Chains A and B, each alone.
Chain A
Amino acid sequence: MAPPQASAAQSAPPGPDGPQDPAAPPAPVLEAVGVSKRFPGVVALDDVSFTLRAGEIHALVGENGAGKSTLIKILTGVHRPDEGELRLGGEAVSFHRPHEAQQAGISTIYQEVNLVPLMSVARNIFLGREPKTRLGLVDFRRMHRETAELLGGFGITTDPRRPLHTLGIGTQQMVALARAVSVRARVVVMDEPTSSLEPREVETLFRVIGELHGRGISLVYVSHRMDELYRICDRVTVLRDGRLVHTGDLRDTDRVRLVSMMLGRELARVRKEAAEGHDDGRTPAAEPVLTATGLSRRHLLDGVALDLRPGEVLGLGGLLGSGRTETAKALAGALPLDGGDIEVGGRRLRRISSAAAIRAGISLLPEDRKAEGIIPGLSVRENIVLAALPRLSRFGFVSRRRQDRVVDIFVKRLRIKAASPEQKVGELSGGNQQKVLLARWLCLEPRVLLLDEPTRGIDVGAKAEVQTLIEELAAEGLAVLLISSELEELVEGADRIVVLRAGTVAGELTGGDVTEGALLTVLAETAPDAVPPQGGPEADAAPEPGAADVPDEAAAPGAGDVPEPPDAAAAPELRKEEDPR
């Protein structure tokens, strides 16, 4: 989220107060020795060794399909290795199920928090080991007290009686972490924990990670975000195509080298190509293909207006909760509006629905790939042709031959890696799933393509491919709307950026102004004046008032970088927006 601050934080990895003891003997806590795992048709891991030392934060990186997930699943008892062994504290162990790994002190925090949303915070933390009164009933008073103490230890003050789902995802993750700690975990495995967090929540997470580090707990940290890795991790293991590529201190490995190890190719060239691609000037047409005015929806959008020209990439900037996703959904007819007009090619859309928008040539690549995009049980082929079915049919019957032709074209063009078009889409890596979804929309030959976080959660290689593809599509005359939380991606990809705040257009950057600095300035300008009127009175409604002190603490090691103020200051406002839903 905030790339520039990483360089400053790099020097002090675990946080200010975490007792660092570099002198301590690096005894291994958890080891995988010569582990191999095969699945039908693929070798997921090939003779991989992994050593987690006591008290270290170990980054595990690799492209999608490199074998990270498989390795994690082996470490946490979900899978058993075909060859090789696991050692815990030097002794060979064999977990038959995840529960056994947990009992041995290995806790896992997944991307999607796996707790019980309707139960209270306290019940979640004590799930399965509730304290009992003498009568054998659950001792709620003790449970609540201990929960409050435990969370307080992490600087989280939230009511232990609150149902978990009423908290923000970030706080839920803290609860998951607290639970991991309270079951006396020795090892905590975190699989892309920050992918759905707001910047401020990330700060809190890092503080808690520092806390765990201080208690001598070892962490395995999986993330695609370089900044985070360099900020908090001690060592790194790189996997590629199921093989171990590198293990070593992160400090001795610079970013370019790390990324090129992950990719297995020269990074410099990728970067250069991308930069050149961006610079060779496309000339967007003068007439907009899409014009939206006054898009409004209670609590979400308040009169958003924008236009999109063929051949341009329009970036949609803004912090989380500013209405970016809602704007895209509104344009695609997927969000019922209270008011507003959408014109495509000079024609006003009368009934706004997904089907109408698609007919008018607007396609939306949704933010949540799993929930709103893929149909996991269907094949790659069926997922690609889904929206185009009526066009591939005659008298209601679908032509298999026409399907195959379309699928063949897009599998090749987007380089979708699947065993065959008949493979289930749920079995593909995130990057390939995203390409399948892109193919679904491209085979409709849209005029306007709305991309909501098209590169989130996909590996570096696929990311570069998708970014290049966006450039190509725009060059072919498509109008592209790009939403991204990564400033860099937005600035590099977009010709023009419209910045949203609280559901309205807060500013627009064009031409030479499309820079990270300018974007930050707009974000920073707009944020503060929104906070005071809204922030104060309902402090108890905010999920974690305790986290309000984050900026001060975080500012210490970060030495007050430029991007810090907007993120931190805007956060309370964003939270408020999210809460009522």
Chain B
Amino acid sequence: MTSFALPRGLDRPRIADALQRYGVYAAVLALLVFNGVFTDHFLTTDNLRTQLVQVAPVVIVALGMALVIGTEGVDLSVGSTMALSGALLPLYLGYGLLPALLVALLAGVVVGLVNGSLVSLVGLQPIVATLALFVGGRGLALVIADGQLKQIENTDLLSLGTDSVLGIPVVVLIAGVLAAMVAGLVQRTTFGRQLVAVGGNRKAAALAGLPVRRVLIGVYVICGVLAALAGVLATARLTASDPSSLGNLMELSAITAVVVGGTPLTGGSVRVLGTVFGALLMQLLHATLVTHDLHDSTAQMVQAGIILVAVYVARERRAR
């Protein structure tokens, strides 16, 4: 497999292994250093704050996506779920923030239940099962909102998008706490370990008496709830509920963050911190290229390149 001589212990699979493990962190660090040297006003509190606030919804959605991908699945409906929760919000804001928030999150639960049941009980391929709500969810959101953009005037909700605690925006705090919770879920809980086992070898997990169906449904529900929450936060930041564009292409950003973060698409492993950094990397990369006057489309092509590298590295590592 190696076409050129390398020192012993440094063959390609090992490099690939290290790249998949630590590549994201190194890349984020490199970008920060690069910008510190070459970009004016990049490493300022204001700019970093902006970057973090912008990336927070992606991180939240990507956390759920990482869990789903860990079970060898994928959830295409996350963007539509965001739109759905965004569309439901203004309808119930009259009762106060909390009831509206609960309704929005409940929508995420329902979406997750449908996805999870299609995957685990009906036995559909995840990509097909979630495609249904990818299409239908946004349609439903548009019906609910009557196809209209609605201004948000509830100050409680708006403050979710703008307030800070100790200088850290609430949105970022929420994303951080959720990341820690998901990491704990994967590493420490029975559910988390069962999730990884189901992703690693479903047949074996079933024979070992694991509640495979329950785990799968649970994973899609978590993913749905996280997406719904991201929809609420994004709506708060936009100060408007816009079901036609909210969460557009979010599924792809989330999958990108997960893959770039080193979680293999073949399941059996979930890398939470990697996912967070994967989202950060794509955000910073985009910001860097845009501040250097490169067009948005160029930024997209560079991002595509990064995804290819990530997937190639994962493949190379598996080829061992």
Contacts and interface: CB of A to CB of B under 8 A. Distances in A.
Nearest to B196: A378
Contacts of A389: 190, 193-194, 210
Nearest to B4: A96
Contact of A382 (B197, B207, B209): B197
A97 B1 contact: yes
Nearest to B206: A354
Nearest to B189: A396
Interface string A318-359: 000000000000001010000000000000000000110111
B149 to A, nearest CB: 42
Contact of A377 (B8, B205, B269): B269
Given A38-B8, A96-B3, A397-B188, A376 B207 contact: no
A386 B207 contact: no
Interface in B1-15: 1-3, 8-9, 14
Interface SS of chain A: mixed
A82 B8 contact: yes
B189 A375 contact: no
B191 interface: yes
B162 interface: no
A58 interface: no
Nearest to B5: A80
B2 A375 contact: no
A215 to B, nearest CB: 32
Nearest to B208: A387
Interface residues of A, number: 33
A245 to B, nearest CB: 26
Contacts of A334: 206-207
A398 B188 contact: yes
Given A355-B211, A389-B194, A397 B205 contact: no
Interface in B171-225: 188-191, 193-194, 196-197, 200-201, 203-211
B193 A398 contact: yes
Interface in A352-396: 354-355, 357-359, 364, 366, 371-378, 382, 386-387, 389-390, 393, 396
Given A80-B2, A374-B201, A397 B189 contact: yes
B216 to A, nearest CB: 15
Contacts of B204: 366, 371-375
B8 A386 contact: no
Contact of B197 (A97, A378, A393): A378
B142 to A, nearest CB: 38
Contacts of B203: 371-372
Interface string A393-418: 10011100000000000000000000
A40 interface: yes
B200 A377 contact: yes
Contact of A396 (B8, B190, B196, B201): B190
A43 B268 CA distance: 29
Interface residues of B, number: 27
Nearest to B266: A377
Question: Which of B14, B197, B209 neighbours the largest number of chain A CB atoms within 10 Å of its CB?
Answer: B209
Interface in B223-280: 268-269
A372 B189 contact: no
Interface in A11-46: 38, 40
Contacts of B201: 371-372, 374-376
B190 A375 contact: no
Contact of A332 (B196, B207, B210): B207
Given A389-B190, A393-B190, A398-B188, A354 B197 contact: no
Nearest to B198: A375
Contact of A375 (B8, B9, B191, B268): B268
A375 B198 CA distance: 9
Nearest to B211: A355
A364 B196 CA distance: 21
A387 B263 CA distance: 24
Question: Which of A82, A332, A396 neighbours the largest number of chain B CB atoms within 10 Å of its CB?
Answer: A396
A565 B274 CA distance: 62
A213 interface: no
A440 interface: yes
Given A375-B268, A378-B268, A440 B3 contact: no
Interface string A449-481: 000000000000000000000000000000000
B6 to A, nearest CB: 11
Contacts of A354: 206-209
Interface string A78-106: 00101000000000000011000000000
Contacts of A390: 190
Contacts of A96: 1-3
Given A373-B204, A397-B189, 7 more contacts: A354-B206, A354-B207, A386-B210, A389-B194, A389-B210, A397-B188, A398-B193
11 contacts: A96-B3, A334-B206, A354-B208, A375-B204, A376-B268, A377-B268, A387-B209, A387-B210, A389-B194, A396-B190, A398-B188
Interface of A: 38, 40, 80, 82, 96-97, 332, 334, 354-355, 357-359, 364, 366, 371-378, 382, 386-387, 389-390, 393, 396-398, 440
9 nearest CB pairs, A to B: A375-B200, A358-B209, A377-B268, A387-B208, A375-B201, A355-B209, A393-B190, A354-B209, A389-B190
